[in-house]
Amino acid sequence: MHDQHLLDLNVADTAAWNAGSWQAITSTTVTGTPHRIRDQLSLYARDGITEIVYQPTGPDIPGELERFIAIASDL
């Protein structure tokens, strides 16, 4: 179940992706270009949201954190 969790797609993930689960990404996550992420975080702030949960993933966690800080620090 957790094979390759947050790193790569396993067999079950691939089946879900191929069945169309990818279509929910933009409506259920804040994923995309730095501009899109910054815009979405700005909307959250405008609406009074003061905390978010961020899950860096992949083989370069320090790089993911640095990029997120660069996007979110100027809000």
Domain borders along the chain are 11-72
Q: Which residues of the chain have pLDDT under 50?
A: none
Quick: pLDDT tens for 27-42: 889 988 999 999 999 9
Alpha-carbon span 39 to 22, nearest angstrom: 21
Q: Which helix (DSSP H) or strand (DSSP E) does residue 12 occupy?
A: helix 11-18
CA atoms in the 13 A half-sphere facing the CB of 69: 6
Alpha-carbon span 14 to 36, nearest angstrom: 25
pLDDT at 3: 83
**Torsion of the alpha carbons at 35, 37, 38 and 39, rounded to the nearest 10:** 80
pLDDT at 75: 79
Residue with tokens 């929910």: 24
pTM: 0.71
